Amino acid sequence: MTIDRTEKALTSDRTVEFAHVANPGYPTQWRVSWLPDRPLTDDQAWAAMELAELLADPSVRYDPTRMARAIRCAGKLGLIVEQAMLMLAQRRTLHGSALSDVAPTASTAMPLRHGRRIM
């Protein structure tokens, strides 16, 4: 897990989510891609990025140590982990999952009928 920090941005190698400085004045306000309507402090922006990274791995819910970190990060944002999971999942659904570089092939894609997958 790596969060890269510059003077004006936070990015990750585990998730497509990012943060940027919204107001370069004092005090600095950050905006995070998955919480776009909430101005955040530096500490909150870092917590939001760390939380996005942790929740990018679905196995986090089976790891008590990482789940405890996720709970702490969510708490700094005034959220519970389940809210953050839902928000991030909705973004992945709306914007497509950038976590996978592999497009479905004809053998793995499920056919659609009237906008619904045939099971």
Q: What residue numbers bound the domain in which 86 lies?
A: 3-117
Could you tell me how many helices (H) and strands (E) the chain has, helices first? 3, 7
pLDDT grade, residue 1 (50/70/90)?
low
Angle, vertex CA 86, rays to CA 117 and CA 108, nearest 5: 30
pLDDT per residue as tens digits for the range 89-106: 998 887 765 444 333 333
pTM attached to this predicted model: 0.76
CA count, 13 A, side-chain hemisphere, 6: 8
Count of domains forming the chain: 1
